[in-house]
Structure 1
């Protein structure tokens, strides 16, 4: 199905479907919820422009510094619809200072009951486990053709609610957008 922001972000449902189809071909259960998708902006200007557009298409859940750059998460007023899933949220990632990034849809995230069981069931796959020990929401990721899939234990909205309640969100510095 076509989403109102597809002309701005690229075709979101086909992006998600392609990654889910690849998971199915690899024998990974795709009945788990697709929690959100992520778009990486190539420039600060693009990030600010897209943040404004996303604010009109959804509710800003949080914007904070993660990995040295701002990331904003929105809950869509109209989720991205697929035959098997609805995707309720989108992350918008700003580029890291001093690095060049290709703009576009980057990854999707699924909520699964066990990361260790997922990895153990598929020893032939090259899961990346760099954030596996993140206490708030550990993950493993799997690079695929055209994007990446990350697997988490908890929905992003629950993690955001906890971070806000415990004042764990690192705010974007007031002067961030004015830095060279």
Structure 2
């Protein structure tokens, strides 16, 4: 089995790859007609395909922060690590890392996969969130029908952990191995709701 270093997945390697990944996030936002400059880049997520790699990464990233949450969602652990020092990249401050243990779907590439941005709102479901997004981003509101032609996949979901009290519907926009997720509450707020 390849080591984390051979896979390019050591935290130091991944942090070095972050500016290029965020440039791709910005490019996707541009295609969506969405300016995210003034919104919180809540957390960043990576994807790996085997359990042993996820376990190694889980331990490696704990040197950079503390475990905020270890929750089972859709039958697999999702780890959230809050950084001791938030990561500053491209004008955004990212406070947490999401590390899902692998499910049954292999990813074409391991590494950074998505960034979730907080669009503050009281939206209890995906329909309410869509109204918020349409009102916030007029270019997106006019362009939903053209996203598929641009090769952008859209997925609306309401993922939730066992003890979450705060609804956090999400819209995900994915293209070429990069994904932007928009939701109304920060991951920290959702985790705090579990402990309430």
Q: Does the alignment reach a TM-score above 0.5?
A: yes
Distance 2:25 2:117 in 1: 11
Q: Secondary structure at the match of 2:30?
A: helix
Q: Secondary structure at the match of 2:63?
A: helix
Please point out which of 27, 33, 42 is paired with 2:40: 33
| Aligned pairs, number | 161
Q: Secondary structure at the match of 2:90?
A: coil
Please point out which of 64, 71, 77 is paired with 1:64: 71
What are the ranges of 5 or more consecutive residues in structure 2 without an aligned counterpart? 1-9, 122-128, 135-140, 161-165
Deviation at 1:156? 0.6
Distance 2:159 2:51 in 1: 30
Higher helix share: 2
Tell me, yes or no, if the aligned pair for 2:14 and 2:111 is still in contact at 8 Å: no
Q: Deviations over 1:114-166 (max 9, x none)?
A: 5323253532335634315876100111112331111000011000110222x
Tell me, yes or no, if the aligned pair for 2:117 and 2:181 is still in contact at 8 Å: yes
What are the ranges of 5 or more consecutive residues in structure 1 without an aligned counterpart? 166-180
The corresponding residue for 2:154 is: 128
TM-score by length of 2: 0.72
The corresponding residue for 1:150 is: 181
Distance 1:99 1:129 in 2: 16
Q: Secondary structure at the match of 1:47?
A: helix
Aligned-CA RMSD value: 2.4
1:159 aligns with 2:181: no
Tell me, yes or no, if the aligned pair for 2:45 and 2:114 is still in contact at 8 Å: yes
